[in-house]
Amino acid sequence: MRGFASIFVLVFAFHAAAEEVSFQRDVWPVFKRHCIGCHCEKKAKGNLRMDDVSALLKGGKMGALFKPGHPDDSLLISQISGEKPEMPENEPPLSGAKVKLLRDWVSQGAKIDGPPQFELPKLVIPAVYETAPAVASVSISPDGRFGAAACRSEVVLFTVDHDESPRRLPTDFDLVTHVEFSPDGTRLAVAGGSPQRFGGLMIFNITSGQKESERRVGSETFFKGNFSPDGKSLALGGGNGAIYIFPLDSDAPPKLIDLHSDWVTAVVYTRDGKQLVSGSRDKTTKVSSVDGLSLLRSIDESADFINAVAADSLNAISGGNSKVLAGFDLNLALGGVEVSGSGNGARPVNNRSQYLRAFESQSDAVMSLATSGDGKLLAVATRGAEVRVYQTDTRAKKVSLTKVPTPVFAVSLNKDGSRLVLGSKSGVVQVWDTTSSTLIKSLKPVPVFGDGFQGTR
C-alpha cells in the first residue's frame, strides 16, 4: 500500500505542477490577443499598459491591476468577469477557460516568469522594390564572367558578357553584408544576419544554383569576410568582436578568435593562408594566427573606424573613416612575435614607423578594398567620386575610374585584375575593364518601380 500511496502523491504532484500557469506561455498570449490593442505604449486606455512588465506591475489610473493570491480583489479579474464584463471594451467577453486561466494565475501569485514576447515582423523580399536598395557587397568570379551583388536580404547573380536576366537568391537575413566567389569560382558565400539576433552564412553552388549549406550562429550579425586561399574555409567578422572561421566541407562549428572590442567590420586571409588581418570599429587593425587561433599583434590604431582590410604578398592594408589608406610590412610588423606560438604576442604599437608602407592620401573615407586574385592589384573605393586601382608592388596608381555612382560601397577584382565590379549606395552595380578604363556593364540588380516596372504596388 505504501507504494500506491507514493505513486498517488507523485501523480498528484505532477498534476499540480502541470497546472501552474505561466505568464509567458499562457497569460501573455491572452493579453496580446484581447487587450494590448488598447493597452500598449502607443495607446494606454485608462493609463494602463499591458505590454511591459513594469507597467503591468504598476497598473492603470485606478491602481494595481492585480493583488497576487487574491483574484476576487483584483481589478484584472473583476474587469473581465460578471454578466457583462467591462473588458475587452465593446468586444465579446473572454471565454470561461481564459477567465479561469487568468484567475488561476492571480491565485498562484501572479508570477511573471519572463517578459512579453513579440513576434518579429516577417521578412519580406519585394518582387519589385519601391526604391533600389543600397549594394552592401559585390564579388566578381575569378574568370570575370559572373558578378554577385548583395541587395538588402537577397543576392543577385548576373552574367557580365550576356544579357540573361539576373538570378535572385533570397536569404532570411535582415541584411546581406558579404558575398564572395570561392577562389575556384564554383561556390558563392553569402553572409550577414540580423543585428542582436543571429549571424548567418549560406553557400551556393554556382553551376547548379542550389544552396549547399546554411547556418545560423550566435546572436550577432556578420560583416565582411574572406575565403581562405585554398577555398576550404571562410573567415567572417562578427558583431561581437570575434573572427569566425567556418570549415566549408563539414558541419563542424566555426572556430573563434575573440580579439576586438567592437564590430569586426572586415577580415582577410594573408596570401599564404596562415594569418588573418582584421579591422574593426574599435579603430584597430590586427593580425592573428589561423593555426593558433590567437592574436599575434595589433599593428595599427587609427583615429577612426576601420571599414576595410586587404592583404597582398607582403603587406596588410587597411582603411577607414580617417581617410588614411595604410600598408604594413607584415614581416617587420610581426618581427620578434612568435608567429606559431600560443602566447598573446599582443605588443603595443611602438615601431609602427618602421613597418608602415603608406599609400598616397585618399580624398574621403575608405569604404572597401579588394585585391586581384593574383595579388598584383588593389582596388580602393572611398566616399569620394572615384575608384582607384593601385599596383601593389610599387604603390603606384594604375587606374582612376571617375564616372562611378557615388558613394561606392563595395568593390571586387577578378583573378588577373582585368575586371572590376562595384556596388553603390544608389543601388547601381557596374563592371569595368581596368585595362582600358571602359564601362562594360551597368545594372540595377533588382527590379524597381519607375524603372520600367509599372503595375500595382
Q: Which residues bind ligand HEC (CB under 6 A)?
A: 34-35, 37-39, 45-46, 48, 59-62, 65, 75-76, 79-80, 87-91, 94
Of the pair 85, 231, the CB lying nearest ligand HEC is at 85
d(CA 57, CA 59): 6
Listed in sequence order, the DSSP H helices in 86-142 are: 96-107
Q: List, edge to edge, every strand of the sheet that includes 222-227.
A: 222-227, 233-238, 242-247, 255-258
- Cis geometry, peptide bond prior to residue 166 (ω within 30 degrees of 0): no
343, 411, 429, 436 from 432: Cα distances, Å: 45, 11, 10, 9
CB of 35 to ligand HEC, least distance (A): 3
Of the pair 58, 415, the CB lying nearest ligand HEC is at 58
CB of 118 to ligand HEC, least distance (A): 17
Of the pair 95, 436, the CB lying nearest ligand HEC is at 95
CB of 103 to ligand HEC, least distance (A): 12
How many CB atoms within 10 Å of residue 375?
18
Beta bridge partners of 285: 279, 300
CB of 60 to ligand HEC, least distance (A): 3
Task: Find out whether 387 and 381 touch, Cβ atoms under 8 Å.
Answer: yes
CB of 114 to ligand HEC, least distance (A): 19
Of the pair 95, 342, the CB lying nearest ligand HEC is at 95
Task: Find out whether 265 and 250 touch, Cβ atoms under 8 Å.
Answer: no
Of the pair 21, 366, the CB lying nearest ligand HEC is at 21
Which residue is it, cell 573567415? 235
Of the pair 25, 403, the CB lying nearest ligand HEC is at 25
Of the pair 47, 400, the CB lying nearest ligand HEC is at 47
**Sign of torsion, CA 181 183 185 186?**
negative
> Could you give phi then psi for residue 191, rounded to 5 degrees?
-130, 160
How many CB atoms within 10 Å of residue 391?
15
Q: Is 32 helix (H, G, I), strand (E, B) or coil?
A: helix
Of the pair 105, 409, the CB lying nearest ligand HEC is at 105
CB of 39 to ligand HEC, least distance (A): 6
What residue number has its CB nearest to ligand HEC?
60
CB of 34 to ligand HEC, least distance (A): 4
How many CB atoms within 10 Å of residue 114?
11
CB of 106 to ligand HEC, least distance (A): 11
Of the pair 45, 197, the CB lying nearest ligand HEC is at 45
180, 362, 421, 433 from 315: Cα distances, Å: 22, 19, 23, 26
Which residue is it, cell 598573446? 344
CB of 33 to ligand HEC, least distance (A): 8
User: How many residues in the chain?
Assistant: 457
